[in-house]
Amino acid sequence: MDSLTNLLTRVLSGDRRAVARLMTMAENGDAGAREAMAKLHPHTGKAHIVGITGPPGSGKSTLVDKLALEFRRLGKSVGIIAVDPTSPFTGGALLGDRIRMNAIALDRNVFIRSMGSRGHLGGLASKTGDLVRILDAHGKDVILVETVGAGQSEVEIVRTAHTTVIVEVPGLGDDIQAIKAGILEIGDVFVVNKADLGGADETARELDTMLDMNPVDTGWRPPILQTVAKSDTGILEVVDAITSHMDHLKETGNLKDRVREREKTNLLELVRDRVVDSLMENDNERGLEDLVDSIMKYELDPHTAAERFLKPIR
């Protein structure tokens, strides 16, 4: 048995160290990782993938921690992937998350992985997707993916989920309009965390009004729940809502559409990454810089520059 097959066998039989190792390979874009991911594919598709997003400091990690405990109580195994765009670290637990998630870090049925996104020039969503697939094949029932709801890549990550939970905090006031613009459409469950701070009812009402203005045709009206993640209040309701959403997806047949959409997005991102990678090979980095120079000197417009850059593969 070669070492890659051996690694895969270990991942599939629940060996945590093998999982960590394969994740590092996948994050580094290791050649062996691609082959391994291909062999893993038939073993995926069983997990319920849940995206958790919201502004920094809204309590996502705290909530994820509590959700994981609740899912464990229900007998489900849990995978957690925390994508932190502010962190330069990759391939290991961030100190903060490691401390915060200590309660569940000792549970062998929970696997936690943190991922910094700096240094991933694009490709973050597909790399997160690889980690999710590894945990899926590894046999985790529920996979919680935490990401800061800010940029485009975060939205893309969340789109890889079956169920998306949007975490907000009370007292957003006028800001709520701006934040909600792109977030409303992707939220399946809304959580107003830090309800202990007061003003949660009002924030929940505002969200409710905005959801009314954005009617969905899927037949799922996203519930708006209030939690105090810090002290375990309202967690069970969030778990129930997440589970109900999956039930709804299955009953309506929307699950297949979602998965299909996800695979399509993922495939396109992989293609995009490969195209860019192959264009950057053979010292073409220099060519890129030259084109940028030309744009800045108004000798070339961006579209023409893009056309020239693409020439080697046209």
Ligand X SMILES: Nc1nc2c(ncn2[C@@H]2O[C@H](COP(=O)(O)OP(=O)(O)O)[C@@H](O)[C@H]2O)c(=O)[nH]1
Residues that bind Mg ion (CB under 5 A): 60-61
CA distance 92 to 265: 26
Q: Which of the listed partners (ligand X, Mg ion, none) does 268 bind, with a CB threshold of 5 to 8 Å by partner kind?
A: none
Binds ligand X (CB under 6 A): choice among 60, 133, 140, 162: 60
If one asks whether residue 114 binds ligand X (CB under 6 A), the answer comes out as no
If one asks whether residue 194 binds ligand X (CB under 6 A), the answer comes out as yes
Closest separation in Å from C-beta 202 to ligand X:
16
Binds ligand X (CB under 6 A): choice among 62, 90, 126, 128: 62
Q: Which is nearer to ligand X, 36 or 207 (CB)?
A: 207
Q: Which stretch binds ligand X (CB under 6 A): 8-16, 54-62, 121-129, 158-166?
A: 54-62
Q: Which stretch binds ligand X (CB under 6 A): 33-41, 72-80, 190-198, 298-306?
A: 190-198
If one asks whether residue 57 binds ligand X (CB under 6 A), the answer comes out as yes
Judged by CB under 6 A, the number of residues near ligand X is: 14
Q: Which is nearer to Mg ion, 61 or 266 (CB)?
A: 61
Sign of CA dihedral 294, 299, 303, 308: negative
Q: Which of the listed partners (Mg ion, ligand X, none) does 57 bind, with a CB threshold of 5 to 8 Å by partner kind?
A: ligand X
Binds ligand X (CB under 6 A): choice among 51, 59, 85, 187: 59
Q: Which of the listed partners (Mg ion, ligand X, none) does 193 bind, with a CB threshold of 5 to 8 Å by partner kind?
A: ligand X
Q: What are phi and psi of 52, to 5 degrees?
A: -125, 115
Closest separation in Å from C-beta 242 to ligand X:
17
CA distance 79 to 105: 11
If one asks whether residue 117 binds ligand X (CB under 6 A), the answer comes out as no
CA distance 285 to 180: 38
CA distance 303 to 280: 18
Q: Which of the listed partners (Mg ion, ligand X, none) does 132 bind, with a CB threshold of 5 to 8 Å by partner kind?
A: none
If one asks whether residue 230 binds ligand X (CB under 6 A), the answer comes out as yes
If one asks whether residue 61 binds ligand X (CB under 6 A), the answer comes out as yes
Closest separation in Å from C-beta 90 to ligand X:
18
Q: Which is nearer to ligand X, 37 or 166 (CB)?
A: 166
Partnered with residue 164 across adjacent β-strands are: 51
Q: Which is nearer to ligand X, 207 or 228 (CB)?
A: 228
Applying CB under 6 A, which residues contact ligand X? Answer: 56-62, 193-194, 196-197, 228-230
